[in-house]
């Protein structure tokens, strides 16, 4: 039996083309900074924790853009995955203008890198076009922009019931979308703890029948996890979820914060976990973002940007990235 | 929650037999289905005699669930909705409008945070006057502290209108004022009532296609005075109501293209007398835009700054607005002068004052 298997393995039943297509299909994606430290594979569940505002949605948007961009288009390298993004908007405040703005910026940047001569010719033009929309239409490919925007799918949910029914039917809807061509690459949830308090309240409502499941927090989250696990079995997805901190960090000293030195981990208070254990067990990668003072840029002395520090908790990495958000997106500063 | 029996009228396949099967698994309503693994249910049904019919019913339930779901919108559809239905409304103050790139956006919830007497109510009334006048929209003003003053609103309208004759001006002001309706609301339960009533009215208006003079701005001054009394303690009820109110407002805003403006007070954090917005961490994820008002009591200048914005980039802009708010001055337009700061020292000081604490 073992002999047979070995012989089968040696003989090889896969052509190089088949193998390449298999390997490339579930190749790990290396997302842009600040998620660049750990390569993510299909089936991974990333949780990004941070108080609001801490650029969580910004990270999602940038990851989404690298997913919806094609790898190459008309000879210019964009380095994207060309896959669909499913964005579950539980906070109900996703602003599509931000996505559109960032996408245009990325397209322009790629054009600039791929086309040096052109850049030198119209440098003045490009510099102004991030703020002036009509000018920017000259310099990026409208068709590419539209096809990228169409790969971004958004679904709003106003309560847990809507979330559950969306997840129940998501498989069919993904099928419908995938029939149009591209596969879904990332499922994003912004943010997972949005209905925490309302669910906790319904946990206390008693139901008359003993075998009837109530819409309690644990039951809801358990079902959400179960439905997502089912989705992950059928579709090769990476799940990225944000989690807003809903408790204040009590012993948070703002003096340490001001110094802008967030490197010593011992000072950081432990985070209060509020998600039920079923969710915690589901998460494979954990990131935490903290505000770490302000960053004064040398060129624009007048404008100070909030700086954030990002730390990988799972897998635990010793390095902490500090980044700021400006009009070009997330910029790592140290 | 709708009991399964109600569904039988339209879908005869959900018969007593299927309901018995569901009841044995603790499923009594359509919503109960959401908490169950439908594959598992189908596997249970497999073992029974009438498995085909049961499985057919389960598939039907799934399609009923799908009908209730919101559509999956792609980026272009979202942009189209934005350009077609979500316009910006002037706040009535040029400086703030340029800070917010046009003003409030319909479909979004803007929160105005500031300590007592920092000009929050003035800002709200000015916005109400501006929307009713310039955008010819209806304004619903939910007042929780009897601070709404029609006379002040009239002043704002007078200041920006250019009708010379007193008589025509009065007619004009009255016409604009008739578009602003004020309701007093003293507790969170009343506001739920009011908003749910509003939702029903708006929905019926959509069906009847009433389009003239639609509701464009909803002001809640102040939302924190409704929520603060129910917060506190370790129970989740207060916070659940707070979150539910936030979602109800966001739903109204998005589905009926209304700009929503709420005000929030500040509380001392205890550490070195610093203040921060009330309502805590959970509320932070409700508003789209968070504005901070602070006032220098020496020269009564108001400063407005962005604490959070979902589409402008996340860094904090600081602009200084000299926002005249004396009620005696009839010609005061609440006009703002915008001084982009030059001095680094003042800047750092201001940041420490109003931004670091949150």
A331 touches B: beta carbon within 8 Å? no
Give, as one character, the DSSP assignment of residue B231.
Answer: -
Residue B250 DSSP class: H
Cβ count near B324 (within 10 Å): 17
In the predicted model, what is the mean pLDDT of chain A? 79
What does the longest C-alpha to C-alpha distance in chain B come to?
Answer: 86
With an 8 Å Cβ cutoff, is A158 touching chain B? yes
**What pLDDT, on a 0 to 100 scale, did the predictor assign at position B144?**
94
Are the C-beta atoms of B248 and B209 separated by less than 8 Å? no
Which residue among A94, A150, A301 sits closest to B76, beta carbon to beta carbon? A150
Predicted local confidence at residue A117, as pLDDT: 41
- Residues of chain A in contact with residue B236, where contact means CB-CB under 8 angstroms, are 197, 200-201, 204
Distances (CA, A) of B324 to B116, B178, B295, B328, B329: 16, 26, 11, 11, 9
What is the DSSP secondary structure assignment for residue B159, as one 8-state letter?
H
Confidence check: pLDDT of A148 > 60: yes
Phi and psi at residue B174, to the nearest 5° = -65, -35
pLDDT of B242 higher than 70: yes
For residue B134 the two structure tokens come to 């310039």
**Chain A / chain B CB contacts < 8 angstroms:** 183
Please report how the helices A160-178 and A217-234 are oriented relative to each other, as an axis angle in degrees rounded to 10: 10
The string of pLDDT tens digits covering residues B263-311 is: 999 987 665 667 888 888 889 999 999 998 887 777 767 788 888 888 7
CB neighbour list of residue B17: distance below 8 Å, 6 or more residues apart? B50, B53, B54
- Specify the range with the lowest mean pLDDT, choosing from B25-39, B222-236, B342-356: B342-356
Give the residues across from B267 on adjacent strands.
B276
Higher pLDDT, residue B3 or A170: A170
| Interacting residues of B160 by C-beta distance below 8 A, sequence separation 6+ | B92, B129, B130, B133, B134, B333
Q: Which residues of B touch A148 (CB under 8 A)?
A: 75
The pLDDT tens digits of the residues spanning A221-238 come to 999 999 999 999 888 889
Q: Is B333 exposed, middle or buried (CB count within 10 Å of its CB: 0-12, 13-18, 19+)?
A: middle
| Residue B280 near chain A (CB below 8 Å) | yes
Cβ-based contacts of A274 with chain B (< 8 Å) = none
Q: What is the pLDDT of residues A92-145, one digit of tens each?
A: 999 999 999 899 988 888 887 765 444 444 444 444 444 444 444 457 788 999
- Of residues A11 and A331, which shows the higher confidence score? A331
A218 prior amide bond cis, ω within 30: no
- CA gap B302, B101 in Å, rounded: 19
Whether A75 shows a pLDDT value over 60: the answer reads yes
> Per residue in A185-198, is it b (16+ CB within 10 Å) or e — as a string?
bbbbbbbbbbbbbb
Tokens (6 digits) for B350: 């201001």
Residue with token string 């929160």: B111
Task: Decide which of B1 and B190 is more confident.
Answer: B190
Tell me if chain A has a CB within 8 Å of the CB of B285.
yes
Gyration radius (Cα) of chain A, Å: 22
Within 8 A by CB and 6+ apart from B100, the residues are B88, B91, B289, B306, B309, B312
Q: Encode pLDDT of B73-115 as tens digits.
A: 999 999 999 999 999 999 988 888 888 888 999 999 999 999 8
Chain centroid to Cα B288, Å, comes to 8
The whole-angstrom separation of Cα A303 and Cα A306 is 10
Q: What is the CA radius of gyration of chain B?
A: 25
Task: With beta carbons under 8 A apart, name residues in chain A contacting B35.
Answer: 164, 213, 215, 219-220, 223
Is the distance from CB of A186 to CB of A121 less than 8 angstroms? no
B322 pLDDT above the threshold of 60: no
What's the CATH architecture for B81-289?
Answer: 3-Layer(aba) Sandwich (3.40)
Whether B314 contacts chain A with CB within 8 A? yes
Do B66 and A172 touch, CB atoms closer than 8 A? Answer: yes
Cβ within 8 Å, pair B26-A169:
no
The minimum CA-CA distance between B69 and chain A, rounded to whole Å, is 6
Alpha helices in chain A (DSSP H): 2-11, 16-25, 56-68, 96-114, 116-121, 123-129, 133-139, 142-150, 160-178, 196-203, 217-234, 254-259, 277-282
The domain spans of chain A are: 40-332
Which among A150, A162, A200 has the least Cβ separation from residue B236?
A: A200
CA B145 to chain centre: 19
| C-alpha span between A264 and A232 (Å, rounded) | 37
Chain B residues with CB under 8 Å of A246 CB are 281-282
Residues in B touching A137 (Cβ below 8 Å): none
Distance CA A303, CA A172 (A): 48
Residue numbers of B between 319 and 338 with CB closer than 8 Å to A: none
CA angle B196, B198, B201 (to 5 degrees): 115
pLDDT in the model for residue A195: 92
State which of A237-241, A271-275, A330-334, B205-209 shows the largest mean pLDDT. A237-241
Q: Do B26 and A91 touch (CB under 8 A)?
A: no
- Nearest by Cα to B50 from B17, B5, B24, B11: B17
The alpha carbon torsion through B228, B230, B236, B242 (nearest 10 deg) reads -60
The pLDDT of residue A50 is above 50: yes
**CA separation for the pair A227, A311 (Å, rounded):** 29
Which pair of structure tokens corresponds to residue A283? 């998460």
Q: Quick check: helix, strand or coil at residue A107? A: helix
Contact call for residues A286 and A297 (beta carbons, < 8 A): no
Does the beta carbon of A191 lie under 8 angstroms from any beta carbon of chain B? yes
End-to-end Cα distance, chain B: 40
Beta-carbon contacts of residue B274 (< 8 Å; ≥ 6 apart): A254, B268, B356, B357
Q: How far is A38 from chain B (nearest CA, A)?
A: 25
Q: In this structure, are residues B245 and B144 in contact, taking their beta carbons and an 8 Å threshold?
A: no
* Residue A75: DSSP 8-state: T
Task: Inform me whether the C-beta atom of residue B121 falls under 8 Å from chain A C-beta atoms.
Answer: no
Is B281 in CB contact (< 8 Å) with chain A?
yes
- Both tokens of B263, joined, read 């005000």
* Residue spans per domain, chain B: 4-68, 81-289
Query: Is the pLDDT reported for residue A87 higher than 80?
Result: yes
Cβ contact B139:B288 at 8 Å: no
Residue pair B61/B30 in contact (Cβ under 8 Å)? The answer is yes
The alpha carbon of residue B220 is apart from the nearest alpha carbon of chain A, in Å, by 19
Q: Return the higher-pLDDT residue of B149 and B315.
A: B149
Q: Is the dihedral of CA A38, A39, A41, A47 positive or negative?
A: positive
What CATH class has A40-332? alpha beta
Q: Chain B, 181-220: which have a CB under 8 Å from a chain A CB?
A: none
A151 touches chain B (CB under 8 A): yes
Q: Do A168 and B74 touch (CB under 8 A)?
A: no
Are A226 and B271 a contacting pair at CB < 8 A? no
* pTM check: above 0.95: no
Which of A155-169, A172-186, A238-252 ranks highest by mean pLDDT?
Answer: A155-169
pLDDT, average across residues A175-192: 88
Gap between the Cα atoms of B276 and A45, Å rounded = 34
Average confidence (pLDDT) over A11-19: 75
Rounded CA separation A187/A227 (Å): 13
Q: Does A250 touch chain B (CB under 8 A)?
A: no
Do residues A18 and B250 lie in contact, with contact meaning Cβ atoms separated by under 8 Å? no
Question: Residue B234 is encoded by which pair of tokens?
Answer: 């370790």
Element (H, E) at B232: none
What is the Cα–Cα distance from B248 to B183, expressed in whole angstroms?
Answer: 18
């Amino acid at each position: 039996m073992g002999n047979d298997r070995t012989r089968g393995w040696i003989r090889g039943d896969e052509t190089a083309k088949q193998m390449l297509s298999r390997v490339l299909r579930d190749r790990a994606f290396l997302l842009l900074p600040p998620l660049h430290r750990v390569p993510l594979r299909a089936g991974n569940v990333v949780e990004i924790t941070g108080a609001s505002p801490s650029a969580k949605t910004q990270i999602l948007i940038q990851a989404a853009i690298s997913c919806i961009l094609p790898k190459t288009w008309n000879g210019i390298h964009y380095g994207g995955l060309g896959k669909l993004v499913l964005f579950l908007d539980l906070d109900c405040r996703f602003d599509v203008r931000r996505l559109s703005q960032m996408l245009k910026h990325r397209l322009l940047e790629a054009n600039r890198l791929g086309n040096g001569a052109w850049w030198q010719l119209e440098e003045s033009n490009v510099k102004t076009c991030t703020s002036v929309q009509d000018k920017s239409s000259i310099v990026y490919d409208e068709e590419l922009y539209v096809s990228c925007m169409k790969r971004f799918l958004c679904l709003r949910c106003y309560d847990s019931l809507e979330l559950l029914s969306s997840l129940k039917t998501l498989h069919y809807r993904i099928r419908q979308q995938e029939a149009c061509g591209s596969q879904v690459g990332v499922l994003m949830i912004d943010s997972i703890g949005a209905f925490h308090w309302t669910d906790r309240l319904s946990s206390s409502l008693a139901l008359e029948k003993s075998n009837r499941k109530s819409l309690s927090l644990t039951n809801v989250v358990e079902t959400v996890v179960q439905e997502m696990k089912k989705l992950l079995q059928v579709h090769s997805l990476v799940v990225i979820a944000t989690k807003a901190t809903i408790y204040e960090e009590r012993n948070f000293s703002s003096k340490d914060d001001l110094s802008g030195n967030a490197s010593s981990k011992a000072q950081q208070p432990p985070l209060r976990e509020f998600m039920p254990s079923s969710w915690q067990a589901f998460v494979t990668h954990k990131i935490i973002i903290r505000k770490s003072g302000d960053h004064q840029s040398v060129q624009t002395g007048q404008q100070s940007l909030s700086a954030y520090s990002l730390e990988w908790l799972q897998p635990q990495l010793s390095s902490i990235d500090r980044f700021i958000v400006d009009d070009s997106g997330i910029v790592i500063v140290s | 929650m709708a009991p399964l029996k109600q569904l039988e009228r339209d879908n005869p396949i959900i018969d007593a037999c299927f309901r018995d099967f569901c009841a044995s698994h603790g499923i009594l309503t359509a919503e109960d289905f959401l908490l169950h693994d439908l594959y598992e249910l189908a596997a249970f049904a497999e073992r029974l005699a009438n498995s085909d019919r049961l499985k057919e019913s389960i598939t039907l339930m799934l399609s009923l669930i799908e009908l209730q779901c919101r559509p999956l919108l792609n980026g272009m559809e979202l942009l189209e909705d934005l350009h077609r239905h979500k316009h910006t409304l002037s706040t009535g103050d040029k400086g703030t409008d340029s800070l917010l790139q046009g003003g409030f956006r319909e479909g979004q919830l803007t929160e105005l945070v500031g300590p007592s007497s920092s000009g929050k109510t003035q800002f709200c009334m000015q916005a109400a006057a501006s929307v009713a006048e310039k955008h010819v929209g209806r304004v619903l003003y939910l007042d929780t502290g009897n601070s709404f003053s029609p006379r002040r609103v009239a002043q704002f309208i007078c200041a920006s209108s250019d009708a010379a004759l007193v008589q025509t001006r009065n007619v004009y002001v009255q016409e604009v004022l008739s578009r602003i309706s004020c309701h007093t609301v003293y507790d969170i339960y009343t506001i739920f009532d009011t908003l749910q009533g509003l939702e029903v009215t708006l929905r019926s208006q959509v069906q009847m296609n009433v389009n003239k003079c639609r509701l464009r701005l909803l002001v809640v001054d102040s939302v924190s005075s409704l929520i603060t009394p129910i917060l506190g303690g370790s129970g989740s009820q207060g916070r659940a109501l707070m979150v539910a109110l936030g979602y109800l407002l966001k739903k109204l805003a998005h589905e009926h293209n209304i700009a929503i403006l709420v005000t929030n007070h500040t509380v001392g954090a205890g550490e070195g007398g610093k203040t921060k917005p009330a309502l805590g961490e959970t509320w932070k994820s409700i508003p789209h835009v968070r504005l901070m008002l602070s006032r220098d009591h020496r020269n009564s200048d108001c400063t407005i700054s962005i604490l959070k914005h979902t589409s402008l980039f996340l860094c904090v802009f600081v602009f200084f607005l000299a926002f005249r708010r004396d009620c005696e001055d009839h010609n005061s337009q609440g006009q703002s002068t915008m001084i982009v700061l030059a001095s680094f020292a003042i800047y750092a000081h201001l940041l420490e004052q109003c931004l670091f604490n949150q």
